[in-house]
Chain A
Amino acid sequence: MRILLTGGSASGKSTYAEKLSLLLPPPHYYIATMEVMDEEARKKVIRHQGMRAGKGFITIERPKDLGGLDFDEAGTILVECLCNLLANEMFDREGRMLDVYNKILDDLEELEKKSRNLILVTNEVGSDGYPYGPGTQAYIQLLGRLNRAFAARFDSLAELAAGIPLVLKGELP
């Protein structure tokens, strides 16, 4: 099954996503999309590694191009997270914007084919109503469109609020 998990920052998405993954059959792959550029990112990665320690996840660091990944055995894939993946895909080194909507949908479809279960974590970034510049506005729009596309395609959708899952579509394991 394919599950989309959304929610704001620090709403409990990672904790819940890992818990859900472990309810599904092994092997458990964890695809980390965050590029470690500074100390704060490093601390976040270490915190998440600590949360996963001893749970048997196979961690794959992959900031973009997820479609090209191969797996020894079809298992349960947890992708964390779409918000970092999109930022990595849509802005190149020079800060130019690329149209990556279809590419991301296709890359994730590859993962769906190569797994038995897929959990994708995303984020809610469009609810502060602040008038950002064009690059950030484009990012907010595109993440919203991708969230809708995955929610429509996947079997289940849940939103986390204060650590509590609200099932908006389908069922959770």
Chain B
Amino acid sequence: MILVIGGVGSGKRDYVRELGYEDSMVADAVMDERPVLYNLQNLVFPHPEKAMDLFDALLEKDLVVCHEVGSGIIPALAHDRAGREAVGRLCSRLAARAEKVVRMVCGIPVILKEDLS
């Protein structure tokens, strides 16, 4: 599994296309048989406490794409805080198991991790 993270508008979707995945292969925040899961954060936010339930199924994907949501002011609402904490922790756990981790910065893929085996 390749994990792709980045802020809003950082170029994640274009990068997915560059890797050869057509839009029809991309599931937007739903778990189904498609190989690319996009907007992981939107799957986590409604039920932050259940984030880890997604873990095993996410490892089966070719690509998991998630917004980086932790680099702003800590939200005033407890539910919002729990959501971004859960997204960050889930991404850290996924990154530990991913073959490759990419972070998009201004449209440029920055490789954070790559297993060469």
Mark A residues whose CB is within 8 Å of B.
7-12, 40, 124-130, 132, 136, 139-140, 161-164, 166
Determine the interface band of chain B, counting residues with CB < 8 A from chain A.
Answer: 20 to 34
B58-92: CB near A (< 8 Å → 1, else 0) gives 00000000001111111000100100111111011
Decide: A124 near B71, CB < 8 A? Known: A161-B5, A162-B5, A163-B96: yes
B103 at the interface (CB under 8 A from A): yes
Complex partner residue of A164 from B69, B78, B112, CB under 8 angstroms = B112
User: In the complex, what distance in Å separates the CA atom of A169 from the CA atom of B78?
Assistant: 35
A interface SS class: loop
Question: A130, B71: Cβ atoms under 8 Å?
Answer: no
Question: A126, B92: Cβ atoms under 8 Å?
Answer: no
Complex partner residue of B3 from A8, A10, A126, A162, CB under 8 angstroms = A162
User: In the complex, what distance in Å separates the CA atom of A172 from the CA atom of B95?
Assistant: 21
B37 at the interface (CB under 8 A from A): no
Question: A161, B103: Cβ atoms under 8 Å?
Answer: yes
Decide: A162 near B84, CB < 8 A? Known: A9-B74, A126-B72, A132-B73: no
B26 at the interface (CB under 8 A from A): no
Complex partner residue of A10 from B78, B88, B96, CB under 8 angstroms = B88
Complex partner residue of A161 from B72, B96, B112, CB under 8 angstroms = B112
User: In the complex, what distance in Å separates the CA atom of A162 from the CA atom of B5?
Assistant: 8
Q: Which residues 82-113 of B have a CB within 8 angstroms of A?
A: 84-89, 91-96, 101, 103, 112-113
Least CB separation from A165: chain B residue: B112
Residues of A within 8 A of B113 (CB): 164
* Minimum Cβ distance to chain A for residue B73 (Å): 5
